Structure 1
């Protein structure tokens, strides 16, 4: 009888113990993902009120973020077999994502993308460039959270789960992460039911609306470029034949040998966030902030470019102009400089190098930015002068001034014997503009604007005026030069004038802050950038109503009467039928706006897409049929040698100087 009583006395204790363990595990596996999402959104948004407002107002999105975080936890548990260790690892991963995203937004207005993981070390070294209390608090908070979760290892009941069950949990977690990352049909239905709105053209807003975990996961599919169904050697052969026929018809085109038999310098100036603020409706200014631009619009070839970007993504505009390729055929939110340009790629830089030019890139910011140090080499530049190579540069506001950039362009042209192709990118007027960083702004805005919107607009306008004056500085120098020179000046995208398009909305330039509800005309306005040209030799004036950035290179070659290489010849042919090409807007030659390509241009657009895929990802069939040397050209062997030698000399000089100092001084 006594033996029979022992199990009866133990069963309640065993049952209670198992119940307690089950409750503890349930609380941990559900509670930790909830707290993780709460924590990373707090780190991302900066205050508890906005975080709770997002959670309470977007419960389906919050639950999706929790589900993805749970899947990460489950996957890690399947690997390590310890909930506490898996929890600390997931906290570490999510915390790092939140911190990096916070720092990236502070630096360049873009959140953390999946493809950022593949960047070179120098391109990921954002932490050293962002200092301050806010960043330090976030780092400490994540570290404390990791330690706290790890300490739960001695609190959470130890439960042995059979290996087969762990494998099942891991497989389920992997499938869940895969399904949302690739957006399978089932995942797509869930996302639609939850009301997910993926804003690929404004990734900062995409992350704010959908949450970090969900937005990051949805961007995974944007790392994958699918081969077009129409791509084959036969389709590329047909494209090559079309290109050759177009070149034959334009065989009378001659090389640009101008005054005194010299080839002209060709200087592209892509001015950071340059736009014409006088285009705002219901707003006026105390004086004209862009006198040079407005004069050139009357006197020289000018018009508007259709940018694939708004508020950020400068390198994507560079990519379109330099390569003639279109962002319309790449995944939304992708960054070609960081993802796809890892081998030599034909561009304007390599083309002009073949014509005897010195091709140089100039940018008044660090060379790692957007991975330009390596990308410019792959695009065929001979050298790249980034801010590290500016000597005692003048700054204005936060960055090197536009006037300093103009002086560097002049210096490089004047000291170089060969004609130059220069692609210049400025930085002075980079956002944000909520801090009146230029002091007392010269141009006062009048209109139905809030005090905050008025301050933002006036700060931006002062910077735009400085850009205008830097262009005038270049004109003043080259108008008296005996070297024929052409300048092509434009912006990369419209500026981000406050959150939720604040200035544009208050000024009545757009009807709503919801970009998904914009009309085609509003989409066009929010992507149209002023383009002006100038030359110190005679060129017929042309009016350019609207032209995609990807077609600008071909247009400039035509203006210079230079024979176009294969890909730019195809650009010119397509631009005649579809001058404006975005993934959500098509502009025909009559200026009519369409959501999709007209039937008359569909086959040529398909040809354009096939050629782009062939050059970037495919078998490079095109080089077998036309322009083989240009299309297969490698990088320049002495890329950046002039600045490498200067760096070596500087390092040697510094070392010699240190040798002469007493040890205490070193």
Structure 2
């Protein structure tokens, strides 16, 4: 039998190594070229249409340096490898800190020394974790580089598309983000691009390091132990510590301000604290029992009109809150609707995204003011049957129990949440096959036609009063390009950008669709109430919002909420008391509808409705009392503090204290 000689075996092994190295080099070259081409493809040599030649010089230089690094075959000599490995690891920590803050447009000089050290410590802990897993300096450096680059890109795009920075709780909404990812333009900023290419070039040179195992065999437990100790200490200090929490207050309305003040890694890490609900100070089951005893619930008048509630995606009325002028009215029907109508401003806890938070408030009467900061209740907390407008209407004999959304049902876990909120049927995108489309979404007209179709189908087999809740999709961002199937009749008098005009033409389509829906039910004999409100304002260009702020017309007490209000309209095809210029927050929408409809209310709904008289507006950003003054949510000097705490305790019992739930407080009793 032929036996291969050691020389031949060495040649074969060398050939295999060279082949693998060649494949790796080709892949690295392809990635390098793709990154370089992206610079030209996205025209990143321009800043606001101004050509900046230095950018071409810098990026081309990095491309050349990276290409040279790929062509260099030699590894770092073994005698220098250990020193180089330690040096690269140590420098990777401040490098990632500085570049991430640069990418995010944060001034490090504005950070306190403590905040800088906290960010560096968190990055170091991540490096220790990667090293404990891989036992490789090379993997640790490249790993932290990848994490930082991904973090920087996510931070940039979330602010670009949603208008607010990413927090830890947003991880739970990743599926929803993926559902709508195709709607956006992913042009990168120059700073983000520079971070990507510079990190890639540095990583190429890190690959020249030979594998250096600091710990071998059982000694690896040393690195694992150090990493575990670092994680425990870091978790205790940066996440659990109440003392640290008092010095680092994340602004949930504008978390990017907290990022700007405290740094990226520190702010995101600390936001993990708010994923879980914390028991309010002074809370007890007995306290909730005492509160519930004050509110036995309300018996309805028996009218029980059909209720069709529509949450209209990104619906906003800038003419009602600022001096923005257009060539013609983009909401003529809603503006002119007065008979049997209640309308005004709805204040919400979100801007630019996070739709389900407003939806949650409107359906459950819970307020985001008392939920963990930045949380998305649909995704995180609704995992059992939960009281809602649907459950209380069902208890008084309502039928239908239809939820509707002409997009993917998995968004915000609606396909799982709606049954837990008491809905029997959920119509999502596959049910809208032949619906009219505007841009690439089902139009409001197509959506409302489906409402009429489902209503008519229901009337053929069921005479119970009908309840339907709908979330539209037509006006969803982005607004960065014109479409052949969207008119351009509406434009602003001053030029605020194409995205503003595109958006306003979408609102005009919503107004016309709502008119058609109202006209249909005007000819229906059954008493019917139709409610429509916006979930949040759209994310439009900063220049436009700067002008909205300059011309803000609601008054100084509402200044905190200038980006956090939308219009609402309630119309009935029978006599109701007309009201205009009503100002409420989303958590009161359900109870206001019940009150106008003359329906029964649970004790909890009664309490919320009573609190509305003293605190007409409450959001995640604070509240405005009946005295017209703004208060932070837990301001103990406020004359409404006791009311706030009653609300807070009751909501905590409803959402988090499953073992001690005061169940009857949240239900309609049979005798009502």
Say whether residues 1:337 and 2:378 are aligned partners.
Answer: yes
Which residue number corresponds to residue 443 of structure 1? Answer: 490
* Structure-1 separation of matches of 2:231 and 2:255: 26
- Give the direction of change, closer, same or farther, for the CA distance of 1:382–1:206 in structure 2 (3 Å limit): farther
Q: Match for 2:325 among 279, 284, 288?
A: 284
Aligned residue in 1 for 2:90: 30
Confirm or deny: 8 A CA contact 1:376 1:384 kept in the other structure. Answer: yes
- Tell whether 2:646 aligns with 1:607: yes
Cα distance in 2 for partners of 1:270, 1:221 equals 31
Corresponding residue number in structure 1 for 2:513: 470
Kept in 1: contact 2:432–2:442 (CA 8 A): no
Which residue of structure 2 lines up, in the alignment, with residue 324 of structure 1?
A: 365
1:561 Cα shift? 0.9
| Cα distance change on mapping 1:496 and 1:63 into 2, 3 Å | farther
Q: CA separation in 2, counterparts of 1:116 and 1:24?
A: 38
CA contact (8 A) 2:274 2:372 kept: yes
Question: What secondary structure, in the 3-state scheme, does the structure 2 residue paired with 1:445 have?
Answer: coil
Aligned equivalent of 2:439: 397
User: For 2:599 and 2:286, how far apart are their aligned partners in 1?
Assistant: 29
Report the equivalent of 1:351.
392
Distance 2:536 2:263 in 1: 25
In the TM superposition, what is the alpha-carbon distance from 1:72 to its structure 2 partner?
A: 0.3
User: Map of 1:550-561 to 2, 5 A cutoff?
Assistant: 550-561=587-598
For 1:428 and 1:142, locate their aligned partners in 2 and report how far apart those are by CA, in whole Å: 40
Q: Deviations over 1:156-205 (max 9, x none)?
A: 5756678547623541354235422345535765x6xxxxx733223467
In 2: Cα distance, 1:401 partner to 1:480 partner: 23
Change in CA separation of 1:390 and 1:236 when aligned onto 2, cut-off 3 Å? same
Distance 1:20 1:395 in 2: 64
Cα distance change on mapping 1:274 and 1:428 into 2, 3 Å: same
Deviation at 1:437, TM superposition (A): 4.2
State how far apart, in whole Å, the 1-side matches of 2:308 and 2:661 are.
29
Q: How far did residue 574 of structure 1 move?
A: 1.0
Q: Does 1:573 align with 2:573?
A: no
The equivalent position to 2:308 in structure 1, one of 244, 267, 270, is: 267
Aligned length: 577
CA separation of 1:75 and 1:461: change in aligned 2, threshold 3 A: same
The offset of 1:32, in angstroms, is: 2.4
What residue in structure 1 maps to residue 412 of structure 2? 370
1:213 aligns with 2:255: no
**Counterpart in the other structure of 2:131:** 77
Residues 252-304 of structure 1: per-residue CA shift (max 9 Å, x gap): x4222xxxxxx422011111111212235443222111111111257622222
> Is 1:410 aligned with 2:447?
no
Could you tell me how far apart the structure 1 residues matched to 2:180 and 2:548 are?
Answer: 37
Match of 2:302 in 1: 255
Question: 2:234 matched to 1:176?
Answer: yes
- State the alpha-carbon separation in 1 of the partners of residues 515 and 636 from structure 2: 39
Distance, in Å, in 2 between the alignment partners of 1:133 and 1:536 is 46
Name the counterpart of 2:20: none
**SS of alignment partner, residue 532 of structure 2:** strand
Unaligned runs of 5+ in 1: 1-16, 42-49, 192-196, 257-262, 512-517, 632-666
TM-score (norm 1): 0.76
1:215 Cα offset (Å): 3.6
Structure 1 residue 68 corresponds to structure 2 residue 114:
no
- CA distance in structure 2 between the partners assigned to 1:486 and 1:214 by the alignment: 48
Rounded Cα–Cα distance in structure 2 between residues aligned with 1:107 and 1:388:
26
- Cα distance in structure 2, aligned partners of 1:591 and 1:291: 30
Contact 1:301 1:541 in 2 (8 A): yes
CA distance in 2, matches of 1:430, 1:125: 14
1:538 aligns with 2:575: yes
Relative distance call for 1:618 and 1:95 in structure 2 (3 A) is: same
Task: Indicate conservation of the 8 Å contact 2:324/2:551, yes or no.
Answer: no
Secondary structure of 1:84's aligned partner: helix
Match of 1:416, SS state, is helix
Q: Which secondary structure state, in structure 1, belongs to the residue aligned with residue 531 of structure 2?
A: strand
**For 1:72-122, what per-residue CA distance to the aligned partner results, in whole angstroms no more than 9, with x for missing partners?**
0013323443323334444455555556666766776666543455569x5
Q: Does 1:302 find its partner at 2:348?
A: no
Q: 1:627 to 1:431 in 2, by over 3 A?
A: closer
Shift of 1:407: 0.8
In the other structure, the counterpart of 1:488 is 531
- Distance in 1 between residues matched to 2:181 and 2:483, nearest whole Å: 23
Task: Return 228-237 or 141-150, whichever deviates more.
Answer: 141-150
- Pick closer, same or farther for the CA change 1:442–1:105 going to 2, 3 Å: same
Once the two structures are TM-superposed, the CA of residue 317 in structure 1 deviates from its matched residue by: 0.3
> How much does 1:131 deviate?
9.3
Q: Which whole-Å CA distance do the structure 2 matches of 1:626 and 1:282 have between them?
A: 45
Offset of 1:601 from its aligned partner?
A: 2.6
Cα deviations by residue, 1:311-362 (Å, 9 ceiling, x for unpaired) = 2221110010000000001122111111111111100122223323111111
- Give the structure 2 partner of residue 185 of structure 1: 243
Q: What is the DSSP-based 3-state SS (H/G/I as helix, E as strand, rest coil) of the residue aligned with 2:454?
A: helix
1:382–1:87: structure 2 CA closer, same or farther, 3 Å change rule?
same
Matches within 5 A, 1:636-647: none
Matches within 5 A, 1:118-267: 118=172, 123=176, 129=182, 148=204, 151=207, 154=210, 156=212, 158=214, 163-164=221-222, 167-168=225-226, 170-182=228-240, 184-186=242-244, 198-203=250-255, 212-244=264-296, 247=297, 251=299, 253-256=300-303, 263-267=304-308
Mapped to 2, the partners of 1:100 and 1:127 lie a distance apart of: 15
Cα pair 1:269 1:489 within 8 Å, conserved? yes
**Rounded Cα–Cα distance in structure 1 between residues aligned with 2:229 and 2:252:** 29
Q: CA 1:24 to 1:146, structure 2 compared with 1: closer, same or farther past 3 Å?
A: closer
